[in-house]
A and B are shown apart, each in its own frame.
Chain A
Amino acid sequence: MAVAVDAPPRNPEAEPRAPSATEGSGRRTRLIGLGLLGLLALLPIPFGDFGFFAGQYALVYAMLGLSVTVVTGYAGLISLMPYSFAGIGAMITGLAMASWGWPFWLAILLGALATIPFSVLVGVASIRLKGLYLAIATLTMANALGETFFQWGDVTGGNTGWLISRPRVGPIDFASDRMFYGLCLAVVLLLLWMVEGLRTSRTGRAMLAVRDNELEAQALGINVYKTKLVALVIGGMIAAIGGGFLAALLLNPTPSAFRPPFAEVTSILLITLVSIGGIDRALGAFFGAIALVIQQQVFQGAEFFFAFFGIYTGFTVILFLMFRPGGLIQIGKLQLALIRERPVLGIAVTVAIVGLNVGIAWLVLSLS
């Protein structure tokens, strides 16, 4: 019966994890990643006002995506309600600012704290429910919250929502799109640093262990329930912070965006963007959000905008999950490794990949 005792064979291809081929040169890869991050942060400049307008959305999506990174990427919990948590953050921020006159930073903190009871509720469910059952439970909960919490006029300001203004720190006013972009960038960098740091911390490694094999993690002395709960609470708070910034970005957050079917559709969009970027690395949410907003802007002009956009992202996410579950980050690392080993071929392939995508974008833009 030795076979039964052995751990089940794992298929490394199917795990959402980048291969370790480039682990040895971690520092240089990280530097390249940071350089790319800086380059992408400057991307709006050539596009002027429009660039900063779109850039704010990308950064807010990146914040929301980071909550998926922690909950689904690190802890392996399939939550289909990240956008509902963002909605709680957005509405509470709006309530505190518009009707109690709180400053933005306190309001957003309250929004983050307000998600904790909901995270604990999902956490209690996650002890008993594995994988797909949790997916059903969270989908149901997103729907139920849309019918109850987001219908509650006292908290959501009714159908017209709340009117709020963007924050101001001392003499600096973040009201313009450019300034707000800068503020969001700072917050995203801070969150990226924290979420990437979480990954290598004791708690984060416990999450990865729970994701990979719950029984093994338990045998290692990890408190599985506590680990899941911590992941959900952190994820919920990050989503709520993103929601608060979304509220400030929109200036008039309304609850209808968090009612079905928009709540579910946007949650799915967030999961999709993180899967495309790379689900178990913090930078994945950042790259995924930028890729998503670029796609949105490219398809914007096309006649059947949303349909094209959905087909393209749906197709990409299926291909990525099947062949490159580590997302854009894994592709980037593989390209780097290829360039290191065979520079000519590697650079040619990279240019071809980038060229193909630019070509598709150009084609769509010229057709519309």
Chain B
Amino acid sequence: MTSSAPVIEVTVFGLSAGAVFGLLALGLVLIYRTTGVLNFAHWAIGLLSMVGYALLAKTGMPPALAAVLSLGVAVFFGALAYRLVFRRLNRANQLIVILVSIGLATLLSSLAQMILGFEAFTAIPPWLPVDDLRIGRVNVRSTEIFTAVTAIVVAFGFLVWFRASRTGRALRAVAQNREAAALAGIDEVRHSTIAWGIGSALAGLALLMVLPHSGGEQGAVITTFDLTPFGTLLIPAFGAALVGGLVNLPMALAGGFMFGLARELLVLAPKPWSDMRASIAAVLIVVLLLLRTERFFATRQELEALEL
């Protein structure tokens, strides 16, 4: 009767982590597909939303409202990054594009540190209801369920919008063939800015889900470690994006769940395997890279547009 309770608990945990990876990956893929920039500064732009939230929450505003408003910070900086920097780069020269996005990551994460006052520890209040839920023998935190549900709703809403709306169609057109899109009267710069804005908002939401809720009811305490989440967030997000070959949005979302569940379910594995938790993302990424997943998802035209 050791029952399935731990399995359910771990699954919920994996789903909420996966939802966050999925959101980050959606933003990465959206930006990469439309503008050919693999954004290494993705988390840093999202981080600014978190900083905006921390500042707004301090003024006494209801935390949930502060969280929603602070998404605008990421939208602003994402759009600004495209307008001022990435629009002016030759995307055929990936070396420069990647180096610039890395420089931007340094710049923005340092900016976040400065605004937070460069304290070793910063207290951040939670904005989702924090409770320990007990259903039968299963113990889960409400924030995990909220994170998973919110992320899934937002992600599906985004996917439907991307499929059905006029702007979504225009974004796909820009991704597939810039010249033809321009001939059809689609403003490439405007739509690329939209892609950067929305992609960055998704990153902002992802970081707002994780960081303020990593603690208990008192909110979280953020250290300077959390301001450079390479291993904990960026690498699994890249992995998730690779599941869809960096171009397929629904697969990137699914990939997020894959990385989240793989990492958390390993806790249940017998001893030598459960030590792999930290490196499971690396193993999966190696497999995905060797599979060259972009072959399955991108049309020939898209591959040419992205110079792969």
- Shortest beta-carbon distance, A368 to chain B, in Å? 13
A132–B106 touching, CB < 8 Å: no
- Shortest beta-carbon distance, B135 to chain A, in Å? 34
- Shortest beta-carbon distance, B293 to chain A, in Å? 10
Interface residues of B in 84-115 (CB under 8 A from A): 85, 88-90, 92-96, 98-100, 102-111, 113-114
Interface-located stretch among A92-100, A167-175, A233-241, A308-316: A308-316
Which residues from chain A contact B88 at a C-beta distance below 8 Å?
322
B96–A317 touching, CB < 8 Å: no
B230–A322 touching, CB < 8 Å: no
A143–B282 touching, CB < 8 Å: yes
B231–A261 touching, CB < 8 Å: yes
**Contact pattern, A 268-287, Cβ under 8 Å of B = 1, otherwise 0:** 11011001000100000000
Q: Given contacts A132-B94, A140-B286, A321-B99, are A314 and B231 in contact (CB under 8 A)?
A: no
Asked whether B169 is an interface residue with its Cβ less than 8 Å from the other chain, the reply is: no
Asked whether B242 is an interface residue with its Cβ less than 8 Å from the other chain, the reply is: yes
Contact of B114 among A131, A146, A304, A325 (CB under 8 A): A304
**Contact pattern, A 133-161, Cβ under 8 Å of B = 1, otherwise 0:** 10111011101101110000000000000
Asked whether A226 is an interface residue with its Cβ less than 8 Å from the other chain, the reply is: no
A310–B231 touching, CB < 8 Å: no
Which residues from chain A contact B38 at a C-beta distance below 8 Å?
132, 135-136
How many A-B residue contacts, CB cutoff 8 Å? 150
A139–B235 touching, CB < 8 Å: yes
- Residue from B93, B94, B103, B105 having most chain A Cβ neighbours under 10 A: B103
Q: How large is the interface on B (under 10, 10 to 19, 20 to 34, 35 or more residues)?
A: 35 or more
Asked whether B228 is an interface residue with its Cβ less than 8 Å from the other chain, the reply is: yes
Asked whether B71 is an interface residue with its Cβ less than 8 Å from the other chain, the reply is: no
Q: Given contacts A143-B282, A264-B230, are A272 and B102 in contact (CB under 8 A)?
A: yes
B94–A131 touching, CB < 8 Å: yes
Complex CA distance for A130 and B94, rounded to whole angstroms: 10
Dominant secondary structure of chain B at its interface with chain A: helix
- Shortest beta-carbon distance, A363 to chain B, in Å? 16
Asked whether A265 is an interface residue with its Cβ less than 8 Å from the other chain, the reply is: yes
Which residues from chain B contact A131 at a C-beta distance below 8 Å?
94-95, 98
B279–A139 touching, CB < 8 Å: no
Which residues from chain B contact A130 at a C-beta distance below 8 Å?
94, 308
Interface residues of B in 188-211 (CB under 8 A from A): none
Interface residues of A in 48-64 (CB under 8 A from B): none
Complex CA distance for A211 and B106, rounded to whole angstroms: 25
A317–B103 touching, CB < 8 Å: yes
Complex CA distance for A268 and B114, rounded to whole angstroms: 19
Asked whether A15 is an interface residue with its Cβ less than 8 Å from the other chain, the reply is: yes
Which residues from chain A contact B308 at a C-beta distance below 8 Å?
130
Asked whether A111 is an interface residue with its Cβ less than 8 Å from the other chain, the reply is: no
Which residues from chain B contact A310 at a C-beta distance below 8 Å?
106-107, 109-111, 113
Which residues from chain B contact A16 at a C-beta distance below 8 Å?
95-96
A268–B95 touching, CB < 8 Å: no
Complex CA distance for A78 and B229, rounded to whole angstroms: 20
- Shortest beta-carbon distance, B301 to chain A, in Å? 14
Asked whether A11 is an interface residue with its Cβ less than 8 Å from the other chain, the reply is: yes
Asked whether A14 is an interface residue with its Cβ less than 8 Å from the other chain, the reply is: yes
Asked whether B163 is an interface residue with its Cβ less than 8 Å from the other chain, the reply is: no
- Which B positions have Cβ atoms within 8 angstroms of A? 38, 40, 85, 88-90, 92-96, 98-100, 102-111, 113-114, 117-118, 225, 228-231, 234-235, 238-239, 242, 278-279, 281-282, 285-286, 289-290, 292, 308
Sample of 9 A–B contacts (CB below 8 Å)? A136-B238, A139-B235, A140-B238, A140-B285, A261-B231, A271-B99, A272-B103, A279-B99, A305-B118
User: What are the 9 closest A-B residue pairs judged by CB atoms, nearest first?
Assistant: A310-B110, A314-B107, A307-B114, A314-B106, A144-B282, A317-B103, A131-B94, A14-B90, A261-B228
